[in-house]
Structure 1
């Protein structure tokens, strides 16, 4: 398991850190015409929802877990909930993520129910770099293929960062080591990249360092590839990995989403890990909704308009100097008279 995880984690870390170093200019986010949901995958997109936009993402899942060595089974259900709210600036959003799970744990010696808030995270995400904000694509009027084809600059990702805290309100019965006490508050940070290839493909990468001030610390990655089939339907595949002292695993996930309207989306997904200590399998359905009634459009100036603004500013700076020179000449001519 460790031999399989290390090369995957190493390569993904190299790729995401390299793209982050290559993209350091600070720019703004973009509001999308249709809802921009993180569901049904587990990765976080680089772009925010837009200032003053409120977005809710929630789902129901059924889960089956069994452990070959300890010889137990756990079957139950859970609920995911996420609140995303565009605050302060166009490129920033506040994030609240909650996951509740309820199951029945069965082993040869005992059987009991477990229920708790498995995850509670509060934080903020900020879009650091958008490679397309000041880019204006030149249209080739002679070739539709040239306009729609692959362009090397699509390899430059949008880059975002996330910082938040995990909250633990009670003893978590789902911990992988019951002898250790999970802290009430622990940090979570993430580096986020997002590439758009053409009009139908989106690749999102997350590198996460979670609970790193505690014994529950873990280094994680998520890579999600989404394909838009048409204006309503999209499908995705995803790979997620964990590496920690208490637990390591790799999970594969797939599913799809249907866009009912610009502000409504429904989805379904299925997940399976690669190990049997424990073996985990779950599937679920969900919905995403946003309220954008208070959103005010942010107009991004073209490169030509930015050049004109720059020229006008420099001209205004020179005007006072010209006026002073004229005054000096007038004063000099009067003195000579």
Structure 2
């Protein structure tokens, strides 16, 4: 028997689960480091926490002030109802100590600089149909270099609200809750490069609505436990506007635990910003695959196999005549 006839289908079967389960992955799918958000959900029944410890220095040339900020970033994610939906809480609680050089006075501000809750739903996934994305069994290069089709992104939409509880010194006059909407895209440029982009409209209906974007490019090394990223974020509001640049590294300690570190800065001096963040992500994996019989799947496994297609129909044609034997 020809071994190549066996090995090729075997390799194909090994790749198919990775393509079919684009939402849930065997290793943790974290939005850290950085602020750009993945288009994919964590997976049904997965509970995930992403935490960061923040130190930041701000100097404001207009107010002639210096400040130090210590804080915590936290994101809680849960795969709700089905694979493409997740509910997510994001919060940043900070303590800012400000010194006004001209006045010789100090001020302390403590509250949430970010406090929001919402739902994210995947509306388009280019890897949903394995038939269009199965690997090339004859070319390693074809599977590992950039192709134009890799630019087609997965797309998710987000709807939620930003909350302002009590007398928040960072958002004076804002209502208790204001709507927030966002779109996230994610493209797998190659097996080692992933491009993520976000655009969001926050604090809708308030006196200071806010537009923002984030573009992040990640690269994994030959040792897949290590990865690096670079990210650009822009914020536009009458209250605060700036462009931020971040870069850092992440390390996969175990399939459910990731550590990360990144540095960043702004481009303005009102205020100037330099910050460092040390973080980790952990998930409680309660995910279970839903098994569906091939004959009950829509279009079959690869989108082409029809129901009961395995039942061969008899070929039409003339019946073979039996030889007549004369005695």
TM-score range, shorter chain: 0.7 to 0.9
| Aligned residue in 2 for 1:126 | 121
Counterpart-to-counterpart distance in 1, 2:206 and 2:170: 17
Q: Structure 1 140/295 Cα, relative in aligned 2: closer, same or farther at 3 Å?
A: closer
Structure 1 residue 76, shift from structure 2 partner: 2.5
| Aligned residue in 1 for 2:8 | none
Structure 1 residue 234, shift from structure 2 partner: 0.4
Question: Are the equivalent residues in 2 in contact too, given 1:63–1:280 (CA < 8 A)?
Answer: yes
Please state if 1:114 is matched with 2:109. yes
Structure 1 residue 245, shift from structure 2 partner: 2.0
Structure 1 residue 141, shift from structure 2 partner: 4.0
Which secondary structure does the structure 1 equivalent of 2:305 belong to? helix
Counterpart-to-counterpart distance in 2, 1:104 and 1:52: 40
Please state if 1:164 is matched with 2:160. yes
Please state if 1:151 is matched with 2:147. yes
Question: Are the equivalent residues in 1 in contact too, given 2:231–2:246 (CA < 8 A)?
Answer: yes
Counterpart-to-counterpart distance in 2, 1:61 and 1:90: 32
Please state if 1:101 is matched with 2:101. no
Deviation string, structure 1 residues 11-53 (Cα, Å, up to 9, x no partner)? xxxxxxxxxxxxxxxx995201110000111011000000000
**TM-score under structure 1 length normalisation:** 0.79
Question: Are the equivalent residues in 2 in contact too, given 1:28–1:127 (CA < 8 A)?
Answer: no
Which secondary structure does the structure 1 equivalent of 2:304 belong to? helix
Structure 1 residue 303, shift from structure 2 partner: 6.6
Which secondary structure does the structure 2 equivalent of 1:147 belong to? helix
Q: Which stretches in structure 1 are left out of the alignment for 5+ residues?
A: 1-26, 313-337
Structure 1 residue 218, shift from structure 2 partner: 1.1
Question: Are the equivalent residues in 1 in contact too, given 2:214–2:234 (CA < 8 A)?
Answer: yes
Which secondary structure does the structure 2 equivalent of 1:215 belong to? coil
Q: Structure 1 139/201 Cα, relative in aligned 2: closer, same or farther at 3 Å?
A: closer
Counterpart-to-counterpart distance in 2, 1:138 and 1:78: 45
Q: Structure 1 276/54 Cα, relative in aligned 2: closer, same or farther at 3 Å?
A: same
| Aligned residue in 2 for 1:195 | 187
Structure 1 residue 97, shift from structure 2 partner: 0.8
The structure with the largest helix share of the pair is 1
Question: Are the equivalent residues in 2 in contact too, given 1:167–1:185 (CA < 8 A)?
Answer: yes
Structure 1 residue 183, shift from structure 2 partner: 1.1
| Aligned residue in 2 for 1:57 | 50
**TM-score under structure 2 length normalisation:** 0.81
Structure 1 residue 262, shift from structure 2 partner: 0.4
Instruction: Give the length in aligned residue pairs.
Output: 281
Coordinate RMSD, CA, aligned: 2.0
| Aligned residue in 1 for 2:80 | 87
| Aligned residue in 1 for 2:170 | 174
Question: Are the equivalent residues in 2 in contact too, given 1:40–1:267 (CA < 8 A)?
Answer: yes
Please state if 1:240 is matched with 2:233. yes
Counterpart-to-counterpart distance in 1, 2:192 and 2:299: 26
Counterpart-to-counterpart distance in 1, 2:87 and 2:144: 35
Question: Are the equivalent residues in 2 in contact too, given 1:252–1:271 (CA < 8 A)?
Answer: yes
Question: Are the equivalent residues in 2 in contact too, given 1:29–1:48 (CA < 8 A)?
Answer: no
